[in-house]
Amino acid sequence: MSLSQPRLRLRFLSILLLNCIVFASNFLINNALPCRPDQIQALMQFKNEFESNGCNRSDFLSGVRCDNATGAVTKLQLPSGCFTGTLKPNSSLFGFHHLRYLNLSHNNFTSSSLPSEFSNLNRLEVLSLASNSFVGQVPSSFSNLVMLTHLNLSHNELTGSFPQVRNLTKLSFLDLSYNQFSGTIPSDLLLTMPFLSHLNLKENHLTGPIEVPNSSSRLVYLSLGNNQFEGQILEPISKLINLEYLELSSLNISYPIDLSIFSSLKALLILEISKNRLLPASLSSDSGIPLSLEGLIMSQCDIIEFPNIFKTLQNLQHVVISNNRIKGKVPEWFWKLPRLSIVGLVNNSFTGFEGSSEVLLNSSVQILDFAYNSMTGAFPLPPPNIIYLSAWNNSFTGNIPLSICNRSSLVVFDLSYNNFTGPIPRCLSNLKIVNLRKNSLEGSIPDEFYSGASTQTLDVGYNRLTGKLPRSLLNCSFLKFLSVDNNRIEDTFPFWLKAVPNLQVFTLRSNRFFGHLSPPDQGPLAFPELRILELSDNSFTGSLPPSYFVNWQASSVKINEDGRIYMGDYKNAYYIYEDTMDLQYKGLFMEQGKVLTSYTTIDFSGNKLEGEIPESIGLLKGLIALNLSNNAFSGQIPLSLANVTELESLDLSRNQLSGNIPRELGSLSFLAYISVAHNQLKGKIPQGPQITGQPKSSFEGNVGLCGLPLQGSCFAPPTQQPEEEDEEEEEQVLNWKAVVIGYLPGLLFGFVIAHVIASYRPKWFVKLVGPDKQKKADNSVSLFMSMDSRWESFNSKNSVESEM
């Protein structure tokens, strides 16, 4: 038998490999791709060099193209998030000598340096390696890729001096942004690259000066922001007369910038000059700035008066003057600019709008954000074609204007943190994002959500709402975030909401809900996508069945295609919305912005729940905060909590728990806060760095507990009791395993969870909410402006797709 096992294994692997090749061949044949069998096999070999949970074979092969005549692979484009692992010098990738197009962007080549073997691919015309976690220096051999027209190394951790790219004379597109390159830009860069039209060096450690040749440059796109320039770099830039897009944020220049220096750039359409000091006189209407401007972004420039320069710029579409110190009212003439589309006035000291409440009715504005100001009085009637309207954290009073119900284009509506009174308008079904949090609204939530309603976020927390939860919420199949906390709603727990397929966050905190939390059939709480459940400070009663958490999907993380894992709308080109919630966490009550989809929190505190804590709590691998305090739970602390390895905050205080504290809790490496105070626990407190570092108040009120951090030691004569307890504990664990097997026959691969920090930064967006109000801005609706919205034709000429 021992001799046959290797043969069986070998036969199995051979069959598996054959199936892979047949699958790949069938896929390529079905898609009319004339790839040679050896190329197909090499492609599968390359795929197998990495973990590829992020994509299947069809995803991988959909980005492959082969030459019609030779059958050799000429194009390879990986899907985002497809590969994880190290790109090694001996990778089969470097055997594809006929490649002309290679795009590996938005994967995770962990701790990989750029192999010099890329130079083997000397027919490459397009090479995109953005957002891949590459480290170290760019090999000098990259200068051998003389056929390149497009090179993108952005959003990595590359270091060293400016890469040797002088030999790449055909380059038209070069993006080295968001790295750690240092030193000066080569003086002959533009001279040696006569076709270069797009140059992005943003977010590095580059220093000046910059030299521009006397000959005319083809450069139309230039981004140099967030470097360490200190010299006279503006004058050379002003010679680049063909520029259409210019980004110069955070230049680290000691003197204020005179905008008239750009008067020679007659073709300029977009100017981004944020985080610099500007000469006040250059903000007047006769500054000489190019009249062609369509976008002007001046965030965090210490501006104190509304810029009159806008009067002369009749082509303006995008205006951002957020995070300045502008006082008074927004002038009435501003809204008469004929092409105005996107306006960001966030975080200033505006007190209102000049003119009547109808001042915005004739405006062409579609995206308007004037959050975090000091505006008072009645809310103005919104523009007729408004898409995004944010006025959070002002002091508006009166009723919410009913005219919003006539704005069929409106998608995002955020009036949170104001002083609005009266009822909620009855047209919420028309809106995707509704945030009316922390006002003084009265009445009930309108029960008029029609079938097919697009509502994704509904936050009406911290108002004076009464009545019941509207049953028509069942029609909101897109609903992800529902918060009605801190109101006066009186109802039973809405088990019927389990029919809403995408609900991830649900908070009922501090209302008048009552009744049982366990389903009528005493089975699992079957919400298919629930991540965060906040039910504290209500009047819920009864016990929770052992299988209560069995069907939760909290153990599986789903990351958006672009790498972000925050809840909200990330599909719009102009704005981004981030949900905000209040969370009782690590003994503190705090507002939580940027709500992640990758973690789970549960708060049932302040109710009248009893019985044992369900052992199935141990199945929630993504649980980071659990609060069951101020109830009447009894029995022992579940051993299964030791399986919740991501747990950071655990509060079981003020219950009737008995027995020992499981010693396995001492091994939870992320457990920063624990409180089991005021129970009936006994025995020695488990020792471990996370436990002994807690204050003694976390364990007080348990007469039988001893050991650090409580004063005194545990003195007990040696008995056989601990072994009996261990056997009893082991038997309980085995019994629970049997329960899990009974409830989860379909889970063949277990539960896997990982904390993922999304560091992807869009190259083409500028965030309108600045860091100087970080605490509030992180919890806010953040508005993004597309910096290339007028560049589709240019970008298409320079995109990686057009290079083939």
Q: Can you tell me which residue has the tokens 């059939």?
A: 521
Number of Cβ within 10 Å of residue 8's Cβ equals 10
Taking phi over 0 as left and psi of -120 to 50 as alpha, with beta for the rest, 255 belongs to: beta
DSSP 3-state assignment of 143?
Answer: helix
Query: Is the pLDDT score of 444 beyond 50?
Result: yes
Query: Is the pLDDT score of 139 beyond 90?
Result: yes
Share of the chain above pLDDT 90, in %: 58
pLDDT of amino acid 600: 81
**Average pLDDT score over residue span 308-316:** 94
Q: How far apart are CA 360 and CA 173, in angstroms?
A: 41
Element (H, E) at 240: none
Element (H, E) at 192: helix 189-192
Residue 467 falls inside a structural domain: yes
Q: How far apart are CA 650 and CA 614, in angstroms?
A: 15
Number of Cβ within 10 Å of residue 576's Cβ equals 19
C-alpha closest to that of 298 among 317, 281, 268, 321: 321
Q: How far apart are CA 760 and CA 544, in angstroms?
A: 41
pLDDT per residue over 266-299, tens digit each?
999 999 999 999 999 999 877 778 889 999 999 9
What is the chain's mean pLDDT, rounded? 81
Q: How far apart are CA 673 and CA 376, in angstroms?
A: 42
Name the packing angle between helices 4-30 and 37-47 (round to 10°).
110
Q: What are phi and psi of 106, to 5 degrees?
A: 65, 40
Instruction: Determine the structural domain holding residue 680 and report its residue range.
Output: 423-714+722-743
Q: Cα–Cα distances in Å, from 29 out to 40, 45, 47, 105?
A: 11, 19, 19, 26
Residue 207 falls inside a structural domain: no
**pLDDT classification of 575: cutoffs 50, 70, 90:** low
C-alpha closest to that of 608 among 656, 573, 572: 656
Number of Cβ within 10 Å of residue 759's Cβ equals 11
Query: Is the pLDDT score of 594 beyond 90?
Result: no
Q: What are phi and psi of 16, to 5 degrees?
A: -60, -45
- Whether 49 and 88 have beta carbons less than 8 Å apart is answered as yes
Query: Is the pLDDT score of 799 beyond 70?
Result: no
Strands 656-659 and 135-136: unpaired
Residue 35 falls inside a structural domain: no
Residue 66 falls inside a structural domain: no
**Average pLDDT score over residue span 695-716:** 83
Residue 389 tokens read as 């309207």
Query: Is the pLDDT score of 438 beyond 70?
Result: yes
Which is higher by pLDDT, 580 or 606? 606
Which is higher by pLDDT, 620 or 492? 492
Q: Is the previous residue joined to 709 through a cis bond, with omega within 30 degrees of 0? A: yes
Which is higher by pLDDT, 499 or 12? 499
Q: Sign of the C-alpha dihedral, residues 224, 786, 435, 380?
A: positive
Residue 618 falls inside a structural domain: yes
**Average pLDDT score over residue span 405-427:** 94
Question: CB under 8 Å to 666, separation ≥6 — which residues?
Answer: 686, 687, 688, 690, 691
pLDDT of amino acid 646: 87
Query: Is the pLDDT score of 672 beyond 60?
Result: yes
Most confident segment among 190-204, 228-242, 335-349, 620-634: 335-349
**pLDDT classification of 160: cutoffs 50, 70, 90:** very high
Query: Is the pLDDT score of 789 beyond 60?
Result: no
β-partners of residue 420 are: 398
Of 85-99, 172-186, 437-451, 550-564, the least confident: 550-564
Question: CB under 8 Å to 708, separation ≥6 — which residues?
Answer: 685, 687, 692
Query: Is the pLDDT score of 23 beyond 50?
Result: no
Q: How far apart are CA 392 and CA 352, in angstroms?
A: 14
**pLDDT classification of 188: cutoffs 50, 70, 90:** confident
DSSP 3-state assignment of 619?
Answer: helix
pLDDT of amino acid 403: 92
**pLDDT classification of 623: cutoffs 50, 70, 90:** confident
**pLDDT classification of 599: cutoffs 50, 70, 90:** low
CATH at 483? 3.80.10.10
Query: Is the pLDDT score of 558 beyond 70?
Result: no
**pLDDT classification of 253: cutoffs 50, 70, 90:** confident
Buried b (16+ CB within 10 A) or exposed e, 136-164: eebbebbbbbeebbbbbbbbbebeeebbe
- Whether 339 and 364 have beta carbons less than 8 Å apart is answered as yes
Share of the chain above pLDDT 70, in %: 78
Total structural domains within the chain: 1
**pLDDT classification of 675: cutoffs 50, 70, 90:** very high
Residue 751 falls inside a structural domain: no
Residue 563 falls inside a structural domain: yes
Number of Cβ within 10 Å of residue 218's Cβ equals 14
Q: How far apart are CA 576 and CA 412, in angstroms?
A: 10
- Angle among Cα 386, 390, 392 to the nearest 5 degrees reads 160
Give 55's Cβ-side CA count (13 Å radius).
Answer: 21
Q: Is the previous residue joined to 520 through a cis bond, with omega within 30 degrees of 0? A: no
**pLDDT classification of 71: cutoffs 50, 70, 90:** very high
Which is higher by pLDDT, 458 or 59? 458
Query: Is the pLDDT score of 425 beyond 90?
Result: yes
pLDDT of amino acid 80: 84
Query: Is the pLDDT score of 395 beyond 90?
Result: yes
Residue 120 tokens read as 């083997």
**Average pLDDT score over residue span 107-124:** 92
pLDDT of amino acid 526: 80
**pLDDT classification of 37: cutoffs 50, 70, 90:** very high
Which is higher by pLDDT, 15 or 619? 619
C-alpha closest to that of 641 among 719, 731, 736, 709: 736
Number of Cβ within 10 Å of residue 779's Cβ equals 23
Of 129-138, 530-539, 615-624, the least confident: 615-624
Most confident segment among 391-405, 584-598, 780-794: 391-405
**pLDDT classification of 597: cutoffs 50, 70, 90:** low
Q: What are phi and psi of 458, to 5 degrees?
A: -130, 110
- Whether 231 and 245 have beta carbons less than 8 Å apart is answered as no
